[in-house]
Amino acid sequence: MNREKALRLVKEQLTERRYVHTIGVMEAAIELAERYGVDKDKAELAAIFHDYAKFRDKEEMRRIIIDQKMPQDLLQFHDELWHAPVGAYLVEKEAGVSDDEVLEAIRCHTSGKINMSTLDKVLYVADYIEPGRDFPGVEQVRESAKSSLDIAVIQAMKNTITYLLTRNQPVYPDTFHAYNDMTMKVKERKLT
């Protein structure tokens, strides 16, 4: 699917502000893909569609999570997490995207997961550092992304976990597991 068609489909689903965010994520994802040897077209497509379900009705998303036998523990956590796995499902069903790597990057872009692919990491970081983002810690992650995608992912996850903990919010287990997985892999590489 070409960029123009993908953007047209996405624009129908998003607010203007979220569409601008999506353009920023797309640009950041392309830059990271080029830097870290990821297929640029896949990174672009995943970035364009990453928030496809962001504004879907919560009950519709709940039904899809149940009907499609997605991890049911999602329903116990903030509905902000839902748009990623539901989005991957809807992007495949409604937009016809069938690339498993692209769909998986969309599926885990809010929580992360164990054994993230480089494409998964590119989308996760691009969503975090896109130019419109302005919050404590984002500059540090932007700087890290220039030299280490893994360190950028770890810092972004750490910031997210810390943010949630300081607000007495629950943290989705996949995020903890992803953070631990990434941290241990980086540590192992430094030891060898």
Non-local CB neighbours of 95 within 8 Å, separated by 6+ positions: 1, 6, 9, 49, 52
- Taking the C-alpha atoms of residue 141 and residue 56, their distance in angstroms, rounded to an integer, is 29
Dihedrals phi, psi of 160, to nearest 5 degrees: -65, -45
Predicted local distance difference test score (pLDDT) of residue 189: 85
pLDDT tens sequence across 131-173: 999 998 999 999 999 999 999 999 999 999 999 999 999 999 9
pLDDT score recorded for residue 36: 98
Nearest to 120 by CA among 162, 152, 165, 73: 152
Q: What share of the chain is helix, strand, coil (3-state, %, to 5)?
A: 70, 0, 30
Compute and round to an integer the Cα radius of gyration of the chain. Answer: 16
Please report which residue ranges of the chain form alpha helices under DSSP H: 3-11, 16-36, 40-49, 58-67, 83-95, 100-107, 118-129, 138-145, 149-166, 173-191
pLDDT digits (tens, 9 = 90+) for 113-133: 999 999 999 999 999 999 999
d(CA 38, CA 116) in angstroms, rounded, equals 13
What's the rounded Cα separation, in Å, for the pair 168 and 6?
38
Angle 32-70-122 from CA coordinates, rounded to 5°: 5
Rounded percentage of the chain residues whose pLDDT exceeds 90: 96
The pTM score is 0.95
pLDDT at 95: 96
CATH of domain 3-191: 1.10.3210.10
What pLDDT does 1 receive? 85
Per the CB < 8 A criterion, the answer to whether 164 and 170 are in contact is: yes
pLDDT tens-digit series, residues 169-191: 999 999 999 999 999 999 988 87
Copy the structure tokens of residue 100: 């498993």
Span 45-81, pLDDT tens digits: 999 999 999 999 999 999 999 999 999 999 999 899 9
C-alpha span between 86 and 62 (Å, rounded):
9
Mean pLDDT of 9-34: 97
Position 192 pLDDT exceeds 80: no
| 106: amino acid identity, one letter | I
How high is the pLDDT of residue 145? 97
